Amino acid sequence: MKKTISIILSLVLFLSCVTVIPFPVSAAPAQLDVAGNYTLADENANLALYIDSNTGDFAVMNMKTGSVWYSTPLDWESDTKAQGETRDELTSKMTVRYLTNNFSSLTILSNEASLITERQGDDWIMTYYFKSTSTNFTIPVKLSLEEDYVRVELMIDKIKELGESRVLYVKLYQMFGAAGLNDTGYGLLTDGTGSLMEFNRGVLNSYEFGAEDEGHFYDNNPTEVADQAYFTNWNEALRLPVYGMVKNGEAYLNVIESGAAVSEVRGYISNYKNSYNTMYTCVNVRDTQNRRNATGISGTGSYYSDDLPENYISRLYFLDGDDASYVGMAEKYREYLIEEDGMDKVNESISNALCVTLYGSVKKSKHFLGIPYTGNDELTSYSEAEELVGRLQTDEVSKAYINYLGWAPGGLETTMKTKFSANSVLGGKKDLQSLIDTVNGIENYNLSFDVDLQAFYGGNSDVKKFKNTAYGLDSSPVTIYKERISAAGSLDKTSIAYQLIHPRYMPEYAEEFINNALKWNVKNFSFGSIGSTLYCAYNLQNVSTRDESAAYMAQVYQKAKEAAGADGIVNTNGGNGYAAPYVDNILEAPVFGSHNNIAEQEVPFYQIVFRGYVNLASEPFNLNSEQDDLILRLAETGMSLYYLLMDADSTSFQDTEFTSSYACAVDDHYDEMIAKYNRLKPVYDAVGSSTITDHQIFSEDVRITTFSNGAQVYVNYGVSEVIVNGVTIAANDFTVVGGGNA
């Protein structure tokens, strides 16, 4: 009898902890005018959170406007387009893909799971129990209301896999905020500079963005695809882990604060799968890699990792009025970076600077007495770099940033060295120190020596191939080949190859290099590669998941920022979100969107976020095939002009692994560079280091950008002169109105 009573008491205690706890009683806002079991879960002055504990649905009310955003469309039953599984997805809170014990890959919807809802403090946890002949796992999701956002957490660390099946990815809240056929607005993608997915636009050959691997934040993972055939992603990389939606004059912005490196954005417009326009996150819980036989053909089964990433956490912000736009979303994300990552105003010495990267030396095949060997060829010596700086001063370039590639022994194929060493081919210690001292003595001129923390070419005492490089899931070092035979992705394995340095060692290597460079009076630092390429490492006993790798790479920039101090410059390339808040300058920042058929309209989301806080430079102007458009884009957003140059002849890269850099001779481009800089200088003088406060797509050809100091730049991409707001803009040109340094 005592045992029975004890069991009953234990059961009561258990149920009190895990079943649905009564929702708080409070002075609720206007009740949701819908059928169902939505109950007020939490509220504050800005938002109210409602939860349906039976289905796992939730809704968020904007207390300012009374509008409500739902996780499931209220009218989903009237959708005549969706059929079968696509119809079931309309009410599913998650779609889970998993690997069975025989390596089959299957999906299951949360509709097929049982659900327990519980409250823990201010958090609401929905735990989905998936149990079938091939599944036996639980996946919890946590919701909580913060002051001005709803926090959504996929609790990866609490996933329980009780059988042999393994969770691969989770599509989370696929229909949150979905817009119907009568709704107006667009979805925001951050591919490249940014693009808009207009609702209900008839599109031939429509598709789901992200479904073919182009939706990864920070681009695809080279650890997975480096040593095998893979498709070429023609889309621009998604540099920032955000997306959003404007619907009927209001908006939400989803900011991913944790787990972005293993996440993808997905989205489609109506009449593709159903009658809705939607965007959502797919979280990759576990990496896999196909097994291959000796001929490279996929074999039976997969390698997979049991080292899971950090929890996915996102913030859902809700915007209205003038903030319900891509400009408002960019300003909100900028505010997030300032408050959470400490992003600070731009260093004035780099703002609007002419940016130049110089090639130092390159390895080439040579012969001595008929015996072949590999030697270094000079491309730009230290003294030639110093002469270029003098020419820029003579031509009244008021601000310049010089980044030096291939400056160390070994040239462009140098494996990272922690020592700061002169390259004798380029002039030796004396000439190198002279270059450093000269640039340091010129106001608003900055010089950095780029260090590649990723590529291991061998022959280095600091990096050991089998200890300090990244391994794939197949337990072998990842090999990167520079060239492809075809656009489909076949690799030319006769081209130069390198291994990837393990991300865990990057902060240590960078710190040692920085300390040694400081002894030469170097005050600026550039680690270009790690700001544009992100990968994981699956070494036995030394795993670094992709999100851990992003943290290591961010540490490098934080260390560099601390060492550079208030007067120094930290540079990166590409500008992935984990790096951008900690740098002063970004080379090859995105300028264009992907211009895919479901999101054709490009917008300067990236520039609105960062202008005034980070100096942005375009891709190299001299290597761009759309120079007329590029110069207008720079004017439209106040980006810096950027050239990739060398003092040698343009044919110097012949018979090397850098033939794509075919047009880099200083003599061929110097006069053009000065002319383009002078053409853009009125923009730089007018906008100064101000932020972008508004951007208008006035017509198909005309864009108007407004800056925080009052300056406006009118840009005409058309072939005829136009007059807008009394301002005349010549064909293929721009006009600057107002402003002044600010």
Each residue's pLDDT tens digit, 575-606: 999 999 999 999 999 999 988 889 999 999 99
Q: Look at residue 409 and tell me if it is in a domain.
A: yes
Q: Any idea what DSSP says for residue 269?
A: -
Q: Look at residue 482 and tell me if it is in a domain.
A: no
| Other CB atoms within 10 A of residue 623 CB | 15
The mean per-residue pLDDT over the stretch 284-295 comes to: 69
Structure-token pair, residue 38: 């939505």
Domain of 439, CATH number, reads 3.20.20.80
The mean per-residue pLDDT over the stretch 313-318 comes to: 98
Task: Please tell me whether residues 271 and 371 are part of one structural domain.
Answer: no
| Residues 244/188, Cβ–Cβ less than 8 Å | yes
Q: Provide the pLDDT for residue 231.
A: 41
For residue 661, give every residue at least 6 positions away whose Cβ sits within 8 Å of its Cβ, in sequence order, or none: 359, 623, 644, 653
For residue 343, give every residue at least 6 positions away whose Cβ sits within 8 Å of its Cβ, in sequence order, or none: 334, 337, 580, 581, 582, 613, 614
Long-range contacts from 337-340, C-beta under 8 angstroms, 24+ separation: 337/580, 337/581, 337/609, 337/613, 338/613, 340/257
pLDDT digits (tens, 9 = 90+) for 406-455: 999 988 888 888 999 999 999 999 999 999 999 999 999 999 999 999 99
Better-scored residue on pLDDT, 594 or 507 = 507
Q: Provide the pLDDT for residue 494.
A: 52
Domain boundary among 70, 87, 115: 70
Q: Look at residue 475 and tell me if it is in a domain.
A: no
Task: Please tell me whether residues 707 and 672 are part of one structural domain.
Answer: no
Task: Please tell me whether residues 169 and 240 are part of one structural domain.
Answer: yes
Indicate the number of domains in the chain.
4
Task: Please tell me whether residues 318 and 369 are part of one structural domain.
Answer: no
Task: Please tell me whether residues 89 and 66 are part of one structural domain.
Answer: no
pTM higher than the cut 0.85: yes
Q: Any idea what DSSP says for residue 174?
A: T
> The domain containing residue 323 runs over which residues?
79-291+298-340
Give the pLDDT band (50/70/90) at residue 221: confident
The three-class DSSP label of residue 161 is strand
Q: Provide the pLDDT for residue 291.
A: 59
Domain of 231, CATH number, reads 2.70.98
Task: Please tell me whether residues 371 and 418 are part of one structural domain.
Answer: yes
Give the pLDDT band (50/70/90) at residue 370: low
CA-based torsion, 189, 190, 192, 194: positive or negative: positive
Angle at 617 between CA 599 and CA 396, to 5 degrees: 145
Q: Look at residue 476 and tell me if it is in a domain.
A: no
For residue 140, give every residue at least 6 positions away whose Cβ sits within 8 Å of its Cβ, in sequence order, or none: 125, 126, 127, 128, 155, 158, 159
Domain boundary among 660, 681, 702: 681
Q: Look at residue 26 and tell me if it is in a domain.
A: yes
Task: Please tell me whether residues 393 and 304 are part of one structural domain.
Answer: no
| Other CB atoms within 10 A of residue 35 CB | 7
Better-scored residue on pLDDT, 247 or 652 = 247
Task: Please tell me whether residues 108 and 242 are part of one structural domain.
Answer: yes
Better-scored residue on pLDDT, 696 or 650 = 696
The string of DSSP letters for 388-455 reads HHHHHHHTT---EEEEEES-STTGGGPPP-SS----GGGTHHHHHHHHHHHHHTSTTEEEEEE--SSE
Q: For residue 226, is pLDDT > 50? A: no
pLDDT digits (tens, 9 = 90+) for 129-151: 999 888 999 999 999 999 999 99
The mean predicted confidence, pLDDT, of the chain is: 89
Q: Look at residue 31 and tell me if it is in a domain.
A: yes
pLDDT digits (tens, 9 = 90+) for 148-206: 999 999 999 999 999 999 999 999 999 999 999 999 999 999 999 999 999 999 888 89
The mean per-residue pLDDT over the stretch 21-27 comes to: 39
The mean per-residue pLDDT over the stretch 464-490 comes to: 74
Q: Provide the pLDDT for residue 33.
A: 59
Q: Provide the pLDDT for residue 6.
A: 43
Residue percentage of the chain with pLDDT more than 90: 75
Q: Look at residue 498 and tell me if it is in a domain.
A: no
Give the pLDDT band (50/70/90) at residue 302: low
The mean per-residue pLDDT over the stretch 511-520 comes to: 97
Better-scored residue on pLDDT, 671 or 366 = 671
Task: Please tell me whether residues 203 and 233 are part of one structural domain.
Answer: yes
Task: Please tell me whether residues 324 and 176 are part of one structural domain.
Answer: yes
The mean per-residue pLDDT over the stretch 618-632 comes to: 94
Task: Please tell me whether residues 157 and 223 are part of one structural domain.
Answer: yes
CA atoms within 13 A on the CB side of 597: 8
Q: Look at residue 440 and tell me if it is in a domain.
A: yes
Q: Which of 186, 192, 187 is nearest to 606 (CA)?
A: 192
Domain of 695, CATH number, reads 2.60.40
Domain boundary among 654, 681, 708: 681
Task: Please tell me whether residues 648 and 557 are part of one structural domain.
Answer: yes
